[in-house]
Amino acid sequence: MMRYEGQVALVTGAGRGLGRAAAEAFAREGAAVALVARRAEEIDEARSQIVSGGGKALAVRADVSDAASVSAAMRQVLDAFGRVDALVTCAAAEPAAGPSEELPLKDWQRVIDIDLTGAFLTCQAAGRVMLQQGYGRIVNLASFHVIATYPQRAAYAAAKTGVVGLTQALAVEWAGRGVTVNVVAPGPIRTPRTSWFLSKDPGNEAGMIGRTPSGQLGETSDVAALILFLCSKEAGHINGQNIVIDGGWTKNAWWGKHPWMG
């Protein structure tokens, strides 16, 4: 199935984790993919893999928290492909963990700049193109932290909650001009970042799985499949939504394995 034949998808944070999974999924379904990230070696490797599989891809090094860098990246994409049909914002800073009463302003600002301002700048740049085209799909990545958070995650929770508000505002503003904007908020998903967290303590994985009604953590492919649906023409009447993908994790009040579920 080649849902995206002739279309162009731009994915930020495309070097690894959810961003890379989304970029590879777009390529498999026929899209030309612009892979945007700060680490050139990661997106170069991702591009090579897509191209070796017969796909079209462009690696663009950019800092999404910098307006000039985002503008330059968009020019590169337009020079190469001529349009942008789908934008997925996966770029994210390492969370600033620590007691909130001691959190340095620079650590707070770094997370806000990349996770929230970065989402705004890339939405703005891609939105200009999409509004001229009269068509576009944007999916911003948030997190289950917009619903249920951990201690010592003030900056991350605030940034991702801001992404939800940004998405709603853009969805209302741009819907009448052919552009939809939605949020995907993953719960516990196996990515390089969560794998590091799970490896720190055997109880972390057991606790996450125990709270998940499905009895398993999600995979990056699960999130990529949802992103591709929301970016499809079939999803045109879904707009301004925050869709949580977590196997029911955020809805479960039980703290361990359900004894009545076997």
User: Known catalytic residues?
Assistant: 156
Question: What tokens appear for 89 in the block?
Answer: 């914002």
CA 96 from centroid of its chain's CA atoms: 18
- Number of neighbouring beta carbons within 10 Å of residue 259: 7
Q: What whole-number distance in Å separates Cα of residue 182 and Cα of residue 140?
A: 6
String of DSSP letters for 40-104: HHHHHHHHHHHHHTT-EEEEEE--TT-HHHHHHHHHHHHHHHS---EEEE---PPP--S-GGG--
SS3 151: coil
Residue 115 and residue 109: Cα distance in Å, rounded?
A: 10
> Could you give the angle at the alpha carbon of 165 between the alpha carbons of 197 and 36, nearest 5°?
60
Angstrom distances, CA of residue 5 to CA of 28, 55, 232: 10, 11, 11
Which tokens is 105 given? 């302003």
SS3 185: strand
Q: How far apart are CA 139 and CA 260, in angstroms?
A: 38
